[in-house]
Amino acid sequence: MELREALKLEVLQGSKVVAGRSGLNKQIKEVNIIDAPDIVNWAREGEFMLTTGYCFKDDENVGKQIIYDLAGKKCAGLGIKTKRFFENIPVNMIEFADKLSFPLIELPYYRTFSEISVSIYREILHKQASRLAHSMEINAGLTQIVLKGGGLESIADTLAGFIDRSISILDSHCHLLCGSLKSPMSEILKNLKRGHNFKALAEKDAFSEKESRRMTLKFGEEAFFTVWVTPVRAGEDLLGFIVVWEDDTNLSDLDISAVEQGAIVIALEQVKNRAVAETKHRLRDDFFDDLLSGKIESSAAVNNLGAIHGLDVSKQYVAMVIWVQNYAKLNLENIGIERENLRHITKKITKIVEDTSFQLGLPTVSAIRGNRVIVFLKVEPDMKNTIKRQSKEFANNLYKIISQDDSNIEVRIGIGKLRDSFLDIHKSFNEALHAIDMINKVGEVPVAHYDDFTIYNLLELAGGEAYIKELYENTVKKLEEYDINKQGDLVATLEAYLACGKNVSVASRELFIHRNTLIYRLQKIEEILNIDLNNHEEILNLVLGLKARKLLSPGNE
């Protein structure tokens, strides 16, 4: 109990606070009696010391030393009974105690130390019993919610009711999960949405993973709120935070105890939810693994499982793969952090897919595999003729939103072909993966459809790498060697010329060179390769040769 509370007890009526009034909030844990100066060697934090003053009646400096030592031991205060060995507490001792903000209490002469000690201990025990009863009531109330499957929202409501404060429950990344508002409450807090990032409202590193603390959250330039934040942990794992909005007064010890109880119950609920989610994910993962590997061959086998995981097996689907490029290989030295970062990124991408598909009216189902987010886009009958264009537009929208959301996330998006049977969705998935592989090889665009690489695919099917290398050597290799030796731009010139439909004016503008310069370069190309750029067969060979060059030199522009 606080010293100021003890002074309200009947046994201490008539006491006077003669010094250290600013320290009356010190907690009393025990009561002890000073009968000799060296008692301070055994003094402990929170002790309220009682004395008749006998040990310093002849020397005020001894009294000052006792005050200094007790303050250093963080004792709650010193109660001195006067009228026996001196009439009043010496002024020097009072002034010295005031400097240390150490409470000095003049006790009633007619009260015994035994009466004072017993009364204080009785009140401490009463408070502890009340706190224990209150704690058990809170624990029982919160535990019942978990046992009844009430969830985080119910826990938030119950905890807010116990402490009569608004609270918010955050995940481990400080994003709002749910909350319970107690009136009166600011409109700002009423408008907070699920997913709101609280970390952006506080100073850097303000959210501590291991200890509760008081902090200030800032909304704009003028709105400030004092909050009490308690981490929610399960062993070494950080699961989230409880944020208590303190309004005009700080939380009491009982309130803080209730919040800590709440953190334990929330941790239990989160662990339970995680176990349930992991089981669901494991079953979902097994289903998608079998589906994408082509192991499911029976429509009967896929019907029920497909419906459970949100797929209508009577419909056709296109597979799309969002590949997180900068997490294709994880850093083994920080594998734990890398996996957690990747998990956070892929979940964020999945949310972007859900929101974007909802806005565009395109039904999708997503699954996460390592650094890949696999999207199944449902194709209605009226979409079949335009699905390639629609799927590319959808993918480009996703790419734009992901890049704007976090410029540090580098993604590639590959799209497979529409398949007649749901059981062939694995073929569309493999085509999407192949499109990503071609994006990384050719290096032209971050989003592509499998059909965008028809020529490249034909080259690979025609004879593999040996054939591609031979085609390259028989067409544009001499141009590349010339460019290397002469610091020329003939390969880039040829690519631009062909890309612009052999239009000299357009190609020269594209290359930022004069028309005559382009004509000279084209003549040089004909001379080196001994070809005629008006010959359609030779033009086709050059187009194939340029494609072969890109396949042999991944990322070459």
Asked if residue 443 and residue 408 are part of one domain, the reply reads: yes
Asked if residue 447 and residue 309 are part of one domain, the reply reads: yes
Residue ending a domain, among 223, 248, 275, is 275
d(CA 50, CA 538): 108
d(CA 286, CA 302): 12
Look at residue 468 and tell me if it is in a domain: no
Q: What is the pLDDT of residue 557?
A: 44
d(CA 43, CA 129): 26
Cβ proximity of 12 and 108 under 8 Å: yes
Residue ending a domain, among 275, 307, 329, is 275
pLDDT band at 286 (very low <50, low <70, confident <90, very high): confident
d(CA 356, CA 501): 36
Asked if residue 417 and residue 335 are part of one domain, the reply reads: yes
Look at residue 63 and tell me if it is in a domain: yes
d(CA 181, CA 547): 62
pLDDT cut 90: percent of the chain above it: 36
Look at residue 283 and tell me if it is in a domain: no
Burial class (CB in 10 A: 0-12, 13-18, 19+), 47: buried
d(CA 347, CA 339): 12
Angle value at C-alpha 49, between 47 and 55, nearest 5 degrees: 140
Task: Decide which of 100 and 339 is more confident.
Answer: 100
- Does position 204 have pLDDT exceeding 80, yes or no? no
Asked if residue 306 and residue 435 are part of one domain, the reply reads: yes
Placement of tokens 């035994």 in the chain: 114
d(CA 496, CA 420): 38
Residue ending a domain, among 275, 306, 340, is 275
pLDDT band at 432 (very low <50, low <70, confident <90, very high): very high
Asked if residue 525 and residue 417 are part of one domain, the reply reads: no
d(CA 449, CA 443): 14
Look at residue 138 and tell me if it is in a domain: no
Look at residue 333 and tell me if it is in a domain: yes
Q: Which residues contact 442 (CB under 8 A, 6 or more apart)?
A: 453, 456, 550, 551, 554, 555
pLDDT band at 544 (very low <50, low <70, confident <90, very high): confident
Asked if residue 382 and residue 257 are part of one domain, the reply reads: no
Task: State the pTM of this model.
Answer: 0.49
Q: Is 72 left (phi over 0), alpha (psi -120 to 50) or beta?
A: alpha
Task: Decide which of 306 and 85 is more confident.
Answer: 85
Asked if residue 192 and residue 240 are part of one domain, the reply reads: yes
Arithmetic mean of pLDDT, 194-208:
81
Among candidate residues 53, 4, 10, the one with its CA nearest the CA of residue 33: 53
CB atoms within 10 A of CB 351: 13
Range among 10-19, 37-46, 121-130, 247-256 rated most confident: 10-19
Q: What is the pLDDT of residue 440?
A: 87
d(CA 27, CA 20): 14
d(CA 447, CA 539): 27
Arithmetic mean of pLDDT, 1-7:
91
Look at residue 213 and tell me if it is in a domain: yes
Among candidate residues 15, 203, 242, the one with its CA nearest the CA of residue 120: 15
Placement of tokens 């790419």 in the chain: 399
Among candidate residues 31, 89, 6, the one with its CA nearest the CA of residue 39: 31
**Segment 457-492, tens digit of pLDDT:** 777 777 777 878 888 888 889 998 999 998 989 999
Asked if residue 527 and residue 435 are part of one domain, the reply reads: no
**Segment 94-114, tens digit of pLDDT:** 999 999 999 999 999 889 999
Q: Which residues contact 463 (CB under 8 A, 6 or more apart)?
A: 470
Asked if residue 323 and residue 250 are part of one domain, the reply reads: no
Residues 266-294 as b/e (b if ≥16 CB within 10 A, e otherwise) read bbbbbeeeeeeeeeeeeebeebbebbbee
* CATH code of the domain in which 525 resides: 1.10.10.2840
Q: What is the pLDDT of residue 413?
A: 95
pLDDT band at 185 (very low <50, low <70, confident <90, very high): low
Q: Is 51 left (phi over 0), alpha (psi -120 to 50) or beta?
A: beta
- The mean pLDDT of the chain is 86
The residue length of the chain stands at 557
DSSP SS3 for 282: helix
* Beta-carbon-side half-sphere exposure of residue 550 (alpha carbons within 13 Å): 23
Q: How many domains are there within the chain?
A: 4
Q: Which residues contact 336 (CB under 8 A, 6 or more apart)?
A: none
Q: What is the pLDDT of residue 74?
A: 94
Amino acid occupying residue 349: I
**Segment 230-239, tens digit of pLDDT:** 999 888 888 8
Cα distances (angstroms) measured from residue 479 to each of 124, 475, 501, 525: 93, 8, 20, 7
Asked if residue 438 and residue 478 are part of one domain, the reply reads: no
Residues 210-238 as b/e (b if ≥16 CB within 10 A, e otherwise) read eebeebebeeeeeeebebbbbbbbeeeeb
Q: What is the pLDDT of residue 81?
A: 92
Arithmetic mean of pLDDT, 381-405:
91
pLDDT band at 380 (very low <50, low <70, confident <90, very high): confident
**Segment 308-331, tens digit of pLDDT:** 777 888 888 999 999 998 887 777
| Domain with 545 in it | 474-552
Arithmetic mean of pLDDT, 298-306:
73
DSSP 83: S
pLDDT band at 431 (very low <50, low <70, confident <90, very high): very high
Asked if residue 210 and residue 174 are part of one domain, the reply reads: yes
* CATH code of the domain in which 103 resides: 3.40.1390.20
- Farthest-apart Cα atoms in the chain, separation: 124
Look at residue 494 and tell me if it is in a domain: yes
Kindly state the helix (H) or strand (E) to which residue 176 belongs, with its residue range. strand 176-180
pLDDT band at 186 (very low <50, low <70, confident <90, very high): low
- Does position 523 have pLDDT exceeding 70, yes or no? yes
Lowest mean pLDDT among 78-82, 251-255, 305-309: 305-309
Asked if residue 344 and residue 445 are part of one domain, the reply reads: yes
Beta strand residue intervals within 402-484, DSSP E: 411-415, 447-449
Look at residue 65 and tell me if it is in a domain: yes
pLDDT band at 419 (very low <50, low <70, confident <90, very high): confident
Rg of the chain taking only CA atoms, in angstroms: 38
